[in-house]
Amino acid sequence: MAQHSVLDGTFQALADPTRRAVLGRLGAGPASVGELAAPFDMALPSFMKHIRYLESTGWIRSQKVGRVRTCTLEREAFDAVESWLGEQRSIWEGRTDRLERFVTAARPGTDDHTDDPDNKDVLS
């Protein structure tokens, strides 16, 4: 259950176009909050809510030196998403493979494999 709540926050962070743009920019390297905020037509306090959300969900890390807060991308968040997507891909590939076998076996003119014990739960 804890993994799902982490994933919920992770995907919620990606649901917003501003946060996706920030992550895209940070993919090129660290940037100050001022640099990140420049392309957006919003007040800095509103933009900082996006930064704080990205930090709280593990997508970025920020460090303040003097008056400048610099943000960097946290690659571990990508690993978590990639792992979950890999699990989902494996599940769905298995399901589509079983569906393909079922459809192929049910085509007219092919052998009827209904007596085949390995074919009885093709769609489960």
Cα–Cα distance, 84 to 72 (Å, whole number):
23
Q: What is the pLDDT of residue 1?
A: 47
Averaged pLDDT of the chain: 84
Q: H-helix or E-strand containing 115?
A: none
pLDDT in the model for residue 120: 52
* pLDDT tops 80 at residue 4: no
9-38 pLDDT tens trace? 888 899 999 999 999 999 999 999 999 999
- The mean per-residue pLDDT over the stretch 69-95 comes to 85
User: Is pLDDT at 39 greater than 90 in this prediction?
Assistant: yes
Residue 95 CA to residue 82 CA, distance in Å, equals: 20
What pLDDT score was predicted for residue 3? 58
Count the neighbouring beta carbons within 10 Å of the beta carbon of residue 6: 15
If one counts every other C-beta atom within 10 angstroms of the C-beta of residue 13, the result is 22
Residues 36 and 71 sit within 8 Å (Cβ to Cβ) = yes
Residue-wise pLDDT tens digits, 52-73: 999 999 999 999 999 999 999 9
pLDDT of residue 2: 54
Residue 60's pLDDT is 96
Which residue(s) pair with 60 in the sheet? 73
